[in-house]
Structure 1
Amino acid sequence: MDSDSADGVDRRRLLSRGGLAAAGMVAAGAPLVGARPAGAAAAPAGSGIPPATRPGGAYDRYVAKLAAEGRFSGVVLLSHRGRTVLSRSYGMADEERGIPNGENTAFSLSSAGKPFHAVAVLQLAQQGRLRLSDTVGTHLTGYAEEIAERVTLHHLLTGTSGLKTPDEDVRRVFRSREEVHEFYEQWARQATPEAPPGTPSSHSGAEVAIPAQIIEAVTGQTYWDYVQENIFQRCGMTGSGFYTRPQWLADQHVAHPYMALADGSHVDAVRHLDEGSPDPYVLGKNPGRAFIDAPGDGGFATAPDLVRFARALGDGTVLHRHYAELFTGPKIPLAPQGGGLAARRDVPADASFGAYQMPVGLVRGQWVWSRAGANPGVGANWSVYPDTGWIGVVLTNRDGAPLWEIAEQETRAVVGHD
């Protein structure tokens, strides 16, 4: 499973598997007024756009400085009510072939792609093909009785299943979709209860793998194919997909992950599967060893495609209004040490909650939704500010980017500060 992003200073929360991402969300009933796909006309001057968000503004200067210092390679994008306000690209998508990052470069999402499986579950719920109160055993066999009969989809989506999953073998190199699928299906069945359902679960990998298995059992499709057809295609996310390692190597529009080594150098992880991260919290891990991202996790997307997905959450493209409200509605309170906006230093949340594979937060009286993820050489964060119509995306393909701090500066620019 992919790692979640949290504090750029706290590497454990940034890279540990399944930690909550940097962000907050909208309460039930609040409409999404987000942007159309990036690439729309730039916002005109005098349109109520905060100066800090504009080209040459504080946020733009902050990211440019990071890039000039060699601390950021990737894309940042800000969109407001259907207009692109800021779009910047830095660094190389593929150094060996001399391909620069651009707005239409697809980046690995890591845990920033986890909300796709929550949306897929809600699509099936609104069709009456499953219920959020269904237990694991309603749809799947092979799980221990205490999991099959007590753990529900709601528990899994809110991170309150009480389950513990065995550590993965991060050094294994996968060779096919079938091998990946079989491994994670069996791995999830090794989950064990460590606390009663309803208890926060230390972000167990089973909470990602089991919903994906249920989606497959209900639809008869692989998780990857279902999301491609029912989310990516519906949203017009033409640059997004669950790319395989051969595609990662060959496709010029997919960013390669530049992973830091112990000596401070960086290596193209997908071209050097023998190398692993020296970070103690993901020791030895290399995201290129996964032939394809585990069902329920990850994927690749461009910045404009994430804007398209954010807009689709509110216009009925992927979910009916009440199910979209259910997806973004706060479910459980989060403490500052648990991640999310509550943990931010510069722009702390008034309140922070967990919801369906997304944290939720109020910042200075405004709702903010966001989801982030990280792996060696990979970082992603997308945020929606539904009260004011903003969408922000940060995508990076090089270790060393302070993803959490960039997200803080984005929120500071959009929401304002004292």
Structure 2
Amino acid sequence: MNTQLIVEQLNAKQEELGFFGNIRVIQNGECIISRQYGYANMAEKIPNKAYTRFGIASGCKIFTAISICQLVEQGKLTFDTKLRDCLSIDFPHFDPSITVHHLLTHTSGVPDYFDEDVMDDFEELWIDRPMYHIRNLKDFLPMFQYEKMVDKVGSDFNYNNTGYVLLGLIIEAVSGMIFSDYVEKHVFEVAGMNDSGYFSLDKLQANVATGYVEEEDGTWKSNIFSIPAKGGSDGGAYVSVEDMERFWKALMNHQLLTKTMTDTLLKPQVHEEDDFYYGYGGFMKVNDQEVIKYAQLGYDPGVNYHSVYYPNENLSIIVCSNKSSGAFDLQYIVEQALLNQE
């Protein structure tokens, strides 16, 4: 393995794409590549540093899934518990048979508040509903509460952000804690992710990269008006690449869940496409009924995140970007160099 050659390839791709962000590669507990590119603050020319924190959008659905699994372990829920038995909120058009399992696996059939078949730009959501009003999970309710089902319960996999908002509301109802407080205490603290949190855009802490969105004329704007004011159970936490290294280690060492429950979390549950499946909170590539790769993805305006873990090779690749694209390209270079896998 020639890590210097890999770094040269990464540097060339960064220059080609104008990539902003960090990449960290860990194999057998050793960091073999750690690179930082571009600016955390473009106007002030403050560079991204090893400890810079980035938004990861939907990449943190896994934290929601782990929280649910913890509550199942405590006997406060089961995966077969019905949505209607968890929440006192009225969903007049939702099928009463929707369960926690359906929500976790994107098979509930509920309407997605961000329907990619209707709109392809996340910013369109906030034209009539200003994003600065979206600070708590209940703030999302008007976007889907009275909408009709779009598919049958138990239907094929159809990626759905609403389902994870509902899971967050379940966590709040069952635990008696605000969702973000629960995750910060029972996931981040346990895993030693001391830099991670759910921060409000108008109260960002130190060492957080500003997300940048390219305009049609080639100039750049921040994403402060492009995403909710505070993230929640469907996405929006801030992490460092070092914290995500700690996360994978804590998850695989059964610090967050028992071995039995960790196996349940990471088990293929529903088929997505080709040789990819979805478990509870994340994608996975399967070959001959064996999971060869776990993958977490996150896309928002000014946010791009890819993190993969190869169990057989004990290999983690973590890429966080404060632009809208590029993370997969850097991940792919490392995968091809170390594993020759797509």
State whether residues 165 and 190 of structure 1, in contact with CA within 8 Å, keep that contact through their aligned partners in structure 2.
no
For residues 355-370 of structure 1, the aligned pairs below 5 Å read 355-362=279-286, 367-370=292-295
Q: How has the CA–CA distance of structure 1 residues 203 and 334 changed in structure 2, closer, same or farther, with 3 Å as cutoff?
A: closer
Report what 1:170 is aligned to. 126
Is 1:378 matched with 2:303? Answer: yes
Q: TM-score, normalised by structure 2?
A: 0.90
State whether residues 236 and 305 of structure 1, in contact with CA within 8 Å, keep that contact through their aligned partners in structure 2.
yes
Q: How has the CA–CA distance of structure 1 residues 381 and 163 changed in structure 2, closer, same or farther, with 3 Å as cutoff?
A: same
Report what 2:186 is aligned to. 230
State whether residues 137 and 169 of structure 2, in contact with CA within 8 Å, keep that contact through their aligned partners in structure 1.
no
Report what 2:106 is aligned to. 159
Identity among equivalent pairs (%) = 22
Which of the pair has the greater relative contact order for Cα pairs under 8 Å at 6+ separation?
1
Residue 70 of structure 1: CA displacement?
4.7
Q: How has the CA–CA distance of structure 1 residues 187 and 309 changed in structure 2, closer, same or farther, with 3 Å as cutoff?
A: same
Q: How has the CA–CA distance of structure 1 residues 402 and 296 changed in structure 2, closer, same or farther, with 3 Å as cutoff?
A: closer
- The letter of the residue matching 1:227 is V
Following the alignment from structure 2 to structure 1, what is the Cα–Cα distance between the partners of residues 20 and 53? Answer: 13
Following the alignment from structure 1 to structure 2, what is the Cα–Cα distance between the partners of residues 378 and 95? Answer: 15
What RMSD in Å do the two structures reach over aligned CA positions?
2.2
2:23 partner SS: strand
Following the alignment from structure 1 to structure 2, what is the Cα–Cα distance between the partners of residues 293 and 366? Answer: 30
Report what 1:57 is aligned to. 5
State whether residues 240 and 299 of structure 1, in contact with CA within 8 Å, keep that contact through their aligned partners in structure 2.
yes
Residue 355 of structure 1: CA displacement?
1.0
Q: How has the CA–CA distance of structure 1 residues 97 and 416 changed in structure 2, closer, same or farther, with 3 Å as cutoff?
A: same
Report what 1:258 is aligned to. 212
Report what 2:117 is aligned to. none
- The letter of the residue matching 1:57 is L
Q: Which runs of 5+ in 1 are unaligned?
A: 1-49, 274-285, 337-350
- The letter of the residue matching 1:266 is W
Residue 407 of structure 1: CA displacement?
2.7
Report what 1:85 is aligned to. 32
Report what 1:43 is aligned to. none
Report what 2:155 is aligned to. 199
Following the alignment from structure 2 to structure 1, what is the Cα–Cα distance between the partners of residues 89 and 238? Answer: 31
State whether residues 114 and 298 of structure 1, in contact with CA within 8 Å, keep that contact through their aligned partners in structure 2.
no
Q: How has the CA–CA distance of structure 1 residues 201 and 386 changed in structure 2, closer, same or farther, with 3 Å as cutoff?
A: closer
Residue 417 of structure 1: CA displacement?
5.3
Residue 138 of structure 1: CA displacement?
1.2
**Mean Cα deviation higher: 65-74 or 389-398:** 65-74
**Mean Cα deviation higher: 257-266 or 365-374:** 365-374
Following the alignment from structure 2 to structure 1, what is the Cα–Cα distance between the partners of residues 140 and 341? Answer: 44
State whether residues 63 and 72 of structure 1, in contact with CA within 8 Å, keep that contact through their aligned partners in structure 2.
no
Following the alignment from structure 1 to structure 2, what is the Cα–Cα distance between the partners of residues 147 and 73? Answer: 42
Residue 405 of structure 1: CA displacement?
2.9
Q: How has the CA–CA distance of structure 1 residues 108 and 234 changed in structure 2, closer, same or farther, with 3 Å as cutoff?
A: same
For residues 33-72 of structure 1, the aligned pairs below 5 Å read 50-51=1-2, 54=3, 56-58=4-6, 60-72=7-19
Q: How has the CA–CA distance of structure 1 residues 402 and 108 changed in structure 2, closer, same or farther, with 3 Å as cutoff?
A: same
Is 1:142 matched with 2:89? Answer: yes
- The letter of the residue matching 2:303 is V
Q: How has the CA–CA distance of structure 1 residues 417 and 195 changed in structure 2, closer, same or farther, with 3 Å as cutoff?
A: closer
Report what 1:317 is aligned to. 255
What are the Cα deviations for residues 230-285 of structure 1, in whole angstroms up to 9, with x where unaligned?
Answer: 0011111111100111233xx33100011100112212233xx4xxxxxxxxxxxx
State whether residues 359 and 369 of structure 1, in contact with CA within 8 Å, keep that contact through their aligned partners in structure 2.
yes
2:318 partner SS: strand
- The letter of the residue matching 2:68 is V
State whether residues 116 and 296 of structure 1, in contact with CA within 8 Å, keep that contact through their aligned partners in structure 2.
no
Report what 1:74 is aligned to. 21
Aligned length: 331
- The letter of the residue matching 1:194 is V
- The letter of the residue matching 2:178 is T
Q: Which runs of 5+ in 2 are unaligned?
A: 115-123
Following the alignment from structure 1 to structure 2, what is the Cα–Cα distance between the partners of residues 413 and 404? Answer: 14
Report what 2:121 is aligned to. none
Q: How has the CA–CA distance of structure 1 residues 223 and 230 changed in structure 2, closer, same or farther, with 3 Å as cutoff?
A: same
Q: How has the CA–CA distance of structure 1 residues 410 and 322 changed in structure 2, closer, same or farther, with 3 Å as cutoff?
A: same
Following the alignment from structure 2 to structure 1, what is the Cα–Cα distance between the partners of residues 341 and 113? Answer: 43
Q: How has the CA–CA distance of structure 1 residues 335 and 269 changed in structure 2, closer, same or farther, with 3 Å as cutoff?
A: closer
Residue 182 of structure 1: CA displacement?
3.2
Report what 1:108 is aligned to. 55
Residue 315 of structure 1: CA displacement?
1.5
